[in-house]
Amino acid sequence: MRTLWANASVATCDDSGRVFARGAVVTDDERIAWVGDESEIPTGLRPDRVIELAGRWLTPGLIDCHTHVVYAGQRAGEFARRTAGTSYADIAREGGGILSTVRSTRAASLDELLRQSAPRVQSLLQEGVTTVEIKSGYGLDYETERRMLLAARALGQQLPVTVVTSLLAAHALPEDFKDRADDYIDLVCTSWLPRFAREQGLVDMVDAYCEDIAFSAAQCDRLFAAATALGWPVRLHAEQLGNVGGSRVGAKHRALACDHLEYATASDALELSRAGTVAVMLPVAWYVLADPHLPPIEHFRSHGVPMAVASDANPGSAPGASLQIAMNMARRLFGLTSVEVLDGVTRHAARALGLHDTHGRLAPGCVADFAVWSIDTLDELGYWIGYNPCSMVVRSGAIVLERNV
């Protein structure tokens, strides 16, 4: 069916950054056929139906390119300890932090994981998110990592959202491998990766946490060599709490994304730009962990590193699931402009997931995923806190959500 989405202000978020104040979009089923000024709709494009958008803003559906929404339980007790002064790293060294969520996630069935995770994805969807990346990483044994990935895939079936999965087996060292991180990485490389490769369709990318409290640059290097040999793109959590050389390893393996990067340097930024890697900003984790070290935004800008913005939704450093709060924080705390933030949740986020050709932009041939906003200016995206101006979500050309705002 051919649909004309009429009378909208359209932000294309393509490389040109074009905006049509009196714009329109034409879709053919799940794809975009045409985008432009309403007065210039080609006469040959006769729509079967017209959806009147009454001057609202229309953007690509938002893309949350870094989440850990699949897990069981919560860590409110740790939050209380952290606000009283204990650090995230100290809690991790005591066997809490990620390992605490590993215990509750291992104990949860697939149904239980879905029951707890679906509302988090729903709340992203309400905010205009049409694509979400979901990581494993709270299993740290083959069966639980697999169950998390199955849950992520099931969420993509049950809810009108495109799910991209990352295998994050290298998120923390499981307790039974204490002092044997190399053995754990060997197991992942020689056993788990080939098994996941045989079971096609569960893993889209391979991720790692490169940090003093997690895995070294050399271990991530080994993991990425094994992953890329099996055909997977890689990405990693790098330089969040200190600089241990993660971005250089990411750049070496042409990582789709390097995430966090608070402690990245100017030369890291240069490496990322040469590798075409997206720098994913996670301001909610920065805010919650309250480490004052800011990511080198100016170096990313001057080296032309594309910046994405994501929620990092997880039970430790970013409890909840709000991309709009991340957008606000990226502006207020990291100093990104409203245009940078919008690009960061659309075309650059698509690039971080390897979806640049089809998602995150409004252009002919792209998937017809949109968000419609009851706002006067684009500056209102990443401005509101705790008020959600998203009034419609369209996925693959179909209206999947309408809100009265």
CA nearest to 203, candidates 251, 145, 161 = 145
E strand or H helix that includes residue 33: strand 31-37
Residue 101 interacts with ligand NIG (CB under 6 A): yes or no = yes
Residue 314 interacts with ligand NIG (CB under 6 A): yes or no = yes
The alpha-helical segments, DSSP class H, found in 290-353 are: 297-302, 323-332, 338-344, 347-352
Altogether, the residues listed in the chain come to a count of: 405
d(CA 70, CA 118): 8
Rg value, the chain, Cα: 21
Partners of 3 in beta bridges = 27, 49
Window 64 to 83, contacts with ligand NIG (CB under 6 A): 68
Residue 144 interacts with ligand NIG (CB under 6 A): yes or no = no
To which residue do tokens 């905006």 refer?
A: 19
Window 303 to 322, contacts with Fe ion (CB under 5 A): 312
CB of 75 to ligand NIG, least distance (A): 7
Residue 250 interacts with ligand NIG (CB under 6 A): yes or no = no
- Choose the contact partner of 101 out of ligand NIG, Fe ion, none; CB within 5 to 8 A by kind: ligand NIG
The three-state secondary structure class of 236 is strand
CB of 318 to ligand NIG, least distance (A): 6
Identity of the residue, 239 or 312, whose beta carbon is nearer to Fe ion in the bound complex = 312
Residue closest to ligand NIG, measured at CB = 316
Of residues 209, 224, 334, 373, which one binds ligand NIG by CB under 6 A?
A: 209
d(CA 101, CA 14): 39
CB of 281 to Fe ion, least distance (A): 12
Q: CA angle, 303 as apex, 165 and 249 as ends, to 5°?
A: 45
CB of 7 to ligand NIG, least distance (A): 41
Task: Please give the single-letter amino acid code of residue 393.
Answer: V
The alpha-helical segments, DSSP class H, found in 253-312 are: 266-275, 283-289, 297-302
- Choose the contact partner of 97 out of Fe ion, ligand NIG, none; CB within 5 to 8 A by kind: ligand NIG
CB of 285 to ligand NIG, least distance (A): 4
Of residues 315, 360, 382, 389, which one binds ligand NIG by CB under 6 A?
A: 315
- Choose the contact partner of 247 out of Fe ion, ligand NIG, none; CB within 5 to 8 A by kind: none
Residue 237 interacts with ligand NIG (CB under 6 A): yes or no = yes
Asked whether 308 and 278 are in contact (CB, 8 A), the reply is: yes
Applying CB under 5 A, the residues found at the interface with Fe ion are 312
Applying CB under 6 A, the residues found at the interface with ligand NIG are 68, 97-98, 101, 209, 237, 240, 285, 312, 314-317
